[in-house]
Structure 1
Amino acid sequence: MHQFLVFVRKEFYHIFRDKRTLLILFGMPVVQIILFGFAITNEIREAKIAVLDQSHDYYSRRLTDKLVASGYLITDQYLQSNNQVETAFKAGEIKMVVVIPAKFGEDFFHQKKVTVQLLADAGDPNTATTLLNYATAIISSYQQELELQNNLPLTINTTVRMRYNPALKSVFLFVPGVMTLILLLVSAMMTSITITREKELGTMEILLVSPLPPAMIIIGKVMPYILLAFVNAVIILSMGVGIFGMPIKGSILLLLLECVLFVLTSLSLGILISTVTNTQQTAMMASMMGLLMPTVLLSGFIFPVESMPEPLQVLSNVMPAKWFIIILKDIMLKGAGLRDIWLQTGILAGMTLFFLGISIRNFKIRLN
């Protein structure tokens, strides 16, 4: 029995001396609890909306203040005409537009009823439905407040219009998300495993003594995966359009070029993972655990980023998947051009260069 206890104590020593094991045992549960606790929620707070107030009277301003006072909505823009609605939606920040008609207060008290129009970006149907429910409830509360104050039967009707996804098909949300997830995981994981396999088998030294510089060796290793990942993207797009009826309102050429850019970003991330891991198993775990959960939770694929605490919103900005999902939705659903998505495109290009720069530097240091 004494020998058994000594053996168990030895195993404890091994575990406590291995920082990576301790990180998996104690660090991962803490991170998962924090992410799942704060990120997984259907409640939306401080969603950005635009207001097109065509009345500019006391009662229309009170309605706008009432919407903002709820804490669920933030007035990010005040529009001047209907022509600005499409531009506001394509900018990507606005989730809903509230259109208050001209002579709002006058019609309200003379005709005892008035109609407010709610326009929602239904590219994310769950978020759109939630925001419309919030706005409708707030407008109803405002109506009851005025009825009590004036002792009159007053009615504020709301007309709802879903932009970009009138049928509220959830597939319009999941096709871009699933496509992003597959391209990211497959490209990053396969690249990291390929390079670490050379290191694990000891054949990387043979490659290093070849006439090719280290940068060309890395590019040569990942070139087949660039082509295969692009084919994968085309297959997913074809299935989304042909089977699920996903529209492509923008340029197909621009969409394919953006897919190539995201594949390059994912591959560069896989190269970075391979430079800090020594075995295929470690590379696979880092690709799966380090990319899968953050991508699902923090990219806006399933859960709205706006509802998360501010630190997680900031953290979501370093997720390449977040920017690619925005690009896919804007091109496919809104017909956006490069002028509308230049920022997201620039961020992905910058991430690609950043990951490649660090990877090449680490590659030289570790293997020279």
Structure 2
Amino acid sequence: MKRFIGFVTKEFYHIFRDKRSMFILFGMPIAQIMLFGFAITNEINNVNIAILDKSKDTKTQKIINKISASKYFYIEQEISSEYQIESIFKKGKVKAVLVFENHFVKNLQTQKQAKVQVITDATDPNIANTITNYVNAILQNHTQEINNTNQPAYQIQTQTQLYYNPELKSVFTFVPGVMTVILMLVSAMMTSISITREKELGTMEVLLVSPLNPLQVILGKVFPYIFLSIINATVIVVLGVFVFGMPIEGSILLLAFESILFIITALSLGILISTLSNSQQTAMMISLMGLMLPVIILSGFIFPLSSMPLPLQVISNIIPAKWFIIIIKAIMLKGASIEIIWKETLILIGMTLFFIVLSIKKYKIRLE
């Protein structure tokens, strides 16, 4: 019995001395419960909206102030014309526009009813539905307040209009999101084991004595996987269009360019993981555990980023998948051109260059 207790004690010591085991046992569960607890929510908070107030009277201003005071909406801007609605939707920052009709107060007084149009960006059907429900709730609450002092009762009616996805098909969110997740995880995973495989197989010496510099080695590792990932992306888009009816409103060439750029970004990240890992198992674990949760949760694929705590919103900016989802939705559903998505494109280019430069630096250190 003493031998068994001594053996168990030894195993405890081994576990406590292994930092990776301690991280997996205690660090990962804490990180996951915190991430899921804060990120997974069906509510919306601080969603950017725009206001088109055609009436411009005290009652509409009171309603606008009530909407602005709620935690659900943030009034990003006030517009003066309906022609501005599509342009601000294409930029992707505003998710809904509230339009107050002409003679809002007069209609309330004479007809005992007035109308508010709720126009939503329905590229994400769940968010569009939630926005409409929240606006309706706020207007109903306001109507009840004013009806306490008015007889007969006033009525504020809402009219809903959906942009880009009028049928609220969830597949319009599903296809871009799945395409992003697959390209990110598969591309990073494929390249993350490339250099570590060389180390484990003992063929690193061949690279050490070769005339290739670190940049050529890294580009040589990435280049074949670009074509394989392009095939993956093509298959996903073709299935999305011909099987699920996914539209491509924008330029196919621009979509292809942005997809290749994201593939290169993911492959570069995989190479960086490869240069930082000592074994294929470690590289695989980092690729799966370190990328899967952030890509799915912090990219805006499933859960709205605006509803997350500020620290998670800040962290989401370093997730390449977030920017690609914005790009691909803008091209496929909104017909956006490069003038609309140039900022997101530059961010992906910057990330790619950063991963490549850091990979070269780490590769040189390992060669010395």
Please give the TM-score of this superposition, normalised by the length of structure 1: 0.99
Q: Does 1:194 align with 2:194?
A: yes
Aligned partner of 1:321 in structure 2 is 321
Look up the match of 1:340.
Answer: 340
Match in the other structure for 1:162? 162
SS of the counterpart of 2:278?
coil
Identity between Structure 1 and Structure 2 (%): 58
Q: Equivalent residue for 1:26?
A: 26
> Counterpart of 2:143 in structure 1: which amino acid?
Q
SS of structure 1 residue aligned to 2:149: helix
**Which string of whole-angstrom CA distances, capped at 9 and with x for unpartnered residues, describes residues 74-118 of structure 1?**
111100101111111111111110001111111111221111100
Within 2, Cα distance between the matches of 1:35 and 1:251? 36
Q: Map 1:172-191; keep pairs closer than 5 Å.
A: 172-191=172-191
1:140 aligns with 2:140: yes
Q: 1 CA distance for matches of 2:165 and 2:134?
A: 19
Contact kept, 8 Å, 1:208 with 1:214, in 2: the verdict is no
Find the counterpart in structure 1 of residue 266 from structure 2: 266
| Paired letter, 1:50 | A
- Residue 8 of structure 1: how far off its partner (Å): 1.2
5+ residue gaps in structure 2?
none
Aligned partner letter, 1:51: I
Structure 2 CA distance for aligned equivalents of residues 119 and 204 of structure 1: 59
Deviation at 1:126, TM superposition (A): 0.3
Give the distance between the partners of 2:222 and 2:365, measured in 1 at CA: 20
**Partner Cα distance (2:192, 2:180) in 1:** 18
Range with greater deviation from structure 2 (136-145 or 176-185): 136-145
Partners of 2:222 and 2:268 within 8 A in 1: no
Letter of the 2:293 partner, please give it.
M
- Scaled by the length of structure 2, the TM-score of the pair is 0.99
Q: How far does the alpha carbon of each residue in 1:316-346 deviate from its partner, in whole angstroms, 9 at most, with x for none?
A: 1110000000001000000000000001101
1:42-67 per-position Cα deviation (integer Å, ceiling 9, x unaligned) = 01111110000111100110111111
* Aligned counterpart, 2:240: 240
What is the CA-CA distance between 1:70 and the residue it aligns to?
2.1
Deviation at 1:151, TM superposition (A): 2.6
Query: Hey, what does 2:230 align to over in structure 1?
Result: 230
Q: For 2:25 and 2:367, how far apart are their aligned partners in 1?
A: 30
Matches within 5 A, 1:30-69: 30-69=30-69
**Aligned-partner residue type, residue 174 of structure 1:** F
Instruction: For 2:106 and 2:55, locate their aligned partners in 1 and report how far apart those are by CA, in whole Å.
Output: 9
Aligned partners of 1:69 and 1:103: how far apart in 2? 24
Per-residue CA distance 1:127-183 (angstroms, 9 max, x = gap): 110010000111111122222122332111111011100000000001000000000
Residue 121 of structure 1 deviates from its aligned partner by 0.6
1:42-121 to 2 correspondences below 5 Å? 42-121=42-121
Asked whether the 8 Å contact 1:164–1:333 carries over to 2, the reply is yes
Is this contact kept in 2: 1:192–1:283, CA < 8 A?
Answer: yes
- Name the aligned partner's letter for residue 339 of structure 1: E
CA distance in 2, matches of 1:144, 1:15: 63
Q: Distance in 1 between matches of 2:321 and 2:141?
A: 39
Per-residue deviation, residues 162-215 of structure 1 (Å, max 9, x unmatched): 110000000000100000000001100000112210111121121121111111
User: 1:279 matched to which residue of 2?
Assistant: 279
Tell me the SS of whatever aligns to 1:52.
Answer: strand
- Which deviates more, 93-102 or 103-112? 103-112
Partner of 2:193: helix, strand, or coil? helix
Structure 1: 4+ residue segments shifted above 6 A: none
Q: Partners in 1 of 2:262 and 2:73 — Cα distance?
A: 32
Counterpart Cα distance in 2 of 1:247 and 1:95: 20
| 8 Å contact from structure 2 (residues 194, 271) kept in 1 | no
Shift of 1:268: 0.6
Partner deviation per Cα, 1:211-259 (whole Å, 9 max, x = no partner): 1111101111121101110111011000000000000000000000000
Amino acid at match of 2:320: P
CA distance in 2 between counterparts of 1:123 and 1:264 reads 26
TM superposition shift of 1:364: 0.5
Unpaired segments ≥5 residues, structure 1 = none
Partner of residue 150, structure 1: 150
Letter in structure 1 aligned against 2:214: P
- How far does residue 294 in structure 1 lie from its aligned partner after superposition? 0.9
